[in-house]
Chains A and B, each alone.
Chain A
Amino acid sequence: MHNVVIVGAGPAGLSAAIAAAAAGAPVLLIDSNPRMGGQYWRMAADSLENQIDQHYDLETGLLLINAVKARKEIEVWSNAQIWSATHKDGVNTLRIIHQDNEKIVNTKNLIICTGAYDRTLPFPGWDTPGVMTPGAVQSLLKGHAVLAGKRIVVAGSGPFLLPVATGVLKAGGEIVELIEANKPIRWLKSFAAMLENLHKINEGYYYLKTISTGKVRPRFGYAVVRAYKADNDELDSVDIAKIDRNFNIRKIKNIKCDVAAIGWGFTADTSLAGSLGCKQIVAEDDGVVIWADDKQQTSVTGIFVAGEITGIGGSELSMAEGVIAGISAAKFVGCKVEIKKAHIKRRAKKQRFATALIRAYPIKSGWKSWLTGESIICRCEEVDLNDLKHAITELGATDSRTAKLFTRCGMGLCQGRICGRSVVDLVADNLEISPTDIDRIAAVNRPIITPIPLGVLAAGE
């Protein structure tokens, strides 16, 4: 029997590994982090103080991680970076840097659980040191026991802002402002999904209780629209604006802070699945995700996906999908195992809640009005909005791909992971058209999955 090969050891990958091993398949679990758990259950090294109060549901994470460690059928490669992946005649070839050596894995089956990262929107001053993502603030706390700053503004949209603000307060930090662009009333649109997932409401209540204990009063219908530098060129303050339903600015006030943690939900990391030829689609939130059937199989036979890369839905949906993907992959390599009705029901319930989340926290087009001509759009290549406009009005770019070639927007080291999604919207806006799915999917295609030092390759061949 062949190995089931899984990429990513977050909620989806861990669940998939356990399900596949339980079905009798040997598993190879490849993860880029030093410790399992993914971003959601990010673990600090043993030498650091226990960060247990930074987690809401660490018990589940530890249960899964310990179950993976306990199973002899599961081999784990941590700190492993996949830099290239190709698919030919049904065989997937992964090129991996692991323990300073290049390793090549050839496999007919694969479960891809590469997760997601914070979605960001450009705004004037967002490249100032001190402006970061909520994910960065949380990872510094969970993984490194470091508080990002002394006076922290948490802003953007989505339920993730709550645990980040809670984490800062629990670590003894100061939250100067907690601001959410959308109004909580949007939740009423999805009353049924809330009722069947009451424990998530409890989780929200826990965060809000901790936040109010910290004397923080969250504001709804506000956004950070500009960051200012101090004399040392680091963050001095931000403008927070009352915004209308379409995110247009109504009224502005300036707030002193040394960290502004701003996130707008998440973007799926589809690079690996995309380079193997798995069909990509545009989700309800305009993000690109990997298409999967009800067995979690992609358009490529033998490649399965689970978790955030099939659509942003949180850890519980990721686990539900992971179990199904694990069973499907085990069956694919010859194990006698079937997906149970209970697995399908669990996934459907979590999916309804995920859909409710997406609808409760939309990102409206007015964010583009926050930008000035000099605002950096592509942080890597330092392309500003004027450069993008020039590519359209003077050079005749007719879509975001051409604008990218003219300006190098999205062609830097991050390969458009940060700006790609926004560039598609900005180019379309300047052309006075709506972005097509083709535009959005083209913006996430990347030849190299993780840039690695060339020396490692030279030494390996």
Chain B
Amino acid sequence: MSQSEIEFTYNDQKITAVAGQSVGAALLAVNIRSLRLSRFNQNKRGIFCGIGVCFDCLVVINGVANQRACIIEAKNGMNVQTQVGSNA
């Protein structure tokens, strides 16, 4: 692992990213495109606006729901999970 590489987990799968990348970008880089299931129809959703406006790429990070994957920087040791509904 080079110095600028970091590691986090997504649904217990190990993901390697470059420091500075967002969680959503790092997941897309390994072809993970569905990040949550919608609240009513349980439809898959992924990155849409990419700049923190639409709230569609929500994931659970270290147990906290409703985190925007597109703007939150991936950090070493993060535990990221698919958000199911509102995860309440």
Contacts and interface: CB of A to CB of B under 8 A. Distances in A.
A34 interface: yes
B50 A135 contact: yes
Contacts of A136: 47-51, 70
A234 B50 contact: no
Interface stretch (A346-354, A358-366, A412-420, A433-441): A412-420
Contacts of A417: 53-54
Contacts of A414: 53-56
B27 to A, nearest CB: 9
Given A47-B19, A143-B25, A382 B41 contact: yes
B34 A233 contact: yes
Chain A contact residues: helix, strand, loop or mixed: loop
A118 B49 contact: yes
Interface stretch (A124-132, A173-181, A244-252): A124-132
B21 A146 contact: yes
Contact of B54 (A34, A146, A234, A418): A418
B44 interface: yes
Given A130-B46, A132-B50, A412 B55 contact: yes
Contacts of A339: none
A133 B25 contact: no
Interface in B6-20: 18-20
A34 B74 CA distance: 13
Interface string B16-42: 001111100110110001110011110
A161 to B, nearest CB: 15
Contacts of B18: 45, 47-48, 145
A133 B58 CA distance: 17
Interface string A134-152: 0111111001111010000
Contact of A129 (B34, B49, B70): B34
Contact of B29 (A46, A146, A380): A146
A39 B51 contact: yes
A34 B20 CA distance: 10
A232 B46 CA distance: 13
Interface of B: 4, 18-22, 25-26, 28-29, 33-35, 38-41, 43-56, 58, 64, 66, 70, 73
Given A234-B33, A381-B40, 16 more contacts: A45-B21, A127-B43, A129-B45, A133-B49, A136-B47, A136-B48, A136-B51, A139-B50, A144-B20, A144-B26, A146-B29, A232-B34, A233-B43, A234-B34, A382-B38, A413-B55
Interface of A: 32, 34, 39, 44-48, 117-118, 127-133, 135-140, 143-146, 148, 232-234, 269, 379-382, 412-414, 417-418, 451, 453
